[in-house]
Amino acid sequence: MSRPMANRGKVGVRGKVGNRGQGIVRGNVPVNPMNPFPKNDKFTMGNALAEMQSLISEYEVIEGPKNERGKIELTQKIEMAFSRNDLGLIQTIGNLHKEVFAEILNISHSNSLLHRACKKGNVKAVEIFIKHGANVNLVTASLKTPLHKSYNYQDIVRILLCSGAKTNSKDVKGFTPLHKAAVKGNSEVIRELIRFGGDWHAFDNIEKMPGDYVNDKVMKIQYEKFYNWQKSKVPLFIYQRSYLSNIPELIYKEILKFL
C-alpha cells in the first residue's frame, strides 16, 4: 500500500521531518543549505572566521619579522594589543622576539609605549615594558621622560625610580617630574620623588620652583619641611622638634652622637 501524497517528499534528521523543499531540519529550525549556521546557533560563521584569524595571528607572532615591513607589522600588532590591554599577547611577543621588541619599545617619538602606559596608570604594562628593555629615561620630542607622565601614580613612580629613572630630568619648559606632580597636586607622588632625591628647589624656565605651583599654603610648608628633613638625613623625631628645625646639618650629626 503506497504512502499518502501528503507525506511524500519529506526528509528528516534524527527522526524529525521537514516539508518539501525545506531541506535538513536541525531541531525545530529548518536549515538553509547555503547558510548551515543560523544566527541563533552557537557556532556562527563569524566565530569561525574569528577563530581562523586568531590562528593566523598566533602563527604570525611565532614566525616573527623577517624584514623592515615585518617589523612594522609587529609594531602594529603590539600597538593593537596595547590598545586592547592584551598584556598576554604583548608578553608573548616580548618573549619570542626580545631584541626586536626592545628596539620597538625604545623608538624615540612623541609617545613611546612606556610613556603611554605610565600616563594611563597601567602598572602591569609598565613592568612588562621595563622587563623587556624599555629605557626608563627615554625622552619625547618635548624632552618628557616616563617619570614626567606618572604624576598621578605613586606605584609607577616607585617602579621607574627603582629601575634607574632620573629624578630631576627637565623637559623643554624646565619642568622636573616634581614640578609636574606639584601642578597636579598629588602629595604621594611629591613625597616619593623627594624621597628619591627630587629637588624641591629646582627652577624651571620661568624661575619657579615646584612649591610655587602648590596652591595650598599648608601643604606647601609641609613639603618644604619634608624636603629639608630628607636632605638633612637625620631621624624624623629630631627634625620635628621646632627648636631644631633651623640647625645646620653638621650640628645634627653632632647631636646624633649623644643619642
110-123 per-position pLDDT tens digit: 689 999 999 999 99
Q: How confident is the model at residue 222 (pLDDT cuts 50, 70, 90)?
A: confident
- Give 31's Cβ-side CA count (13 Å radius): 15
- Please tell me the predicted confidence (pLDDT) of residue 239: 55
Under 8 Å between Cβ of 144 and 115: yes
Query: What amino acid occupies position 225?
Result: K
Given a contact cutoff of 8 angstroms between Cβ atoms, the answer to whether 173 and 141 are in contact is no
pTM: 0.66
Q: What is the per-residue pLDDT across 36-88, written as a single tens digit (0 to 9) for each? A: 555 555 455 556 556 555 544 544 554 556 567 778 888 889 999 999 999 99
Is the CB of residue 145 less than 8 Å from the CB of residue 169?
yes
Q: At what angle do helices 45-63 and 87-96 cross, to 10 degrees?
A: 30
Domain regions of the chain by residue span: 60-105, 109-215
- Three-state SS for 23? coil
Quote the crossing angle between the two packed helices 217-232 and 187-195, to the nearest 10°. Answer: 20
The strand pair at 12-13 and 25-26 is best described as: unpaired
Confidence of residue 253 (pLDDT cuts 50, 70, 90): low
Strand pairing report for 16-17 and 29-30: unpaired
CATH numeric code, 109-215: 1.25.40.20
Which helix (DSSP H) or strand (DSSP E) does residue 74 occupy?
helix 68-83
Cell, residue 195: 624621597
For 152-207, the pLDDT digits (tens) are 999 999 999 999 999 999 999 999 999 999 999 999 999 999 999 999 999 999 99
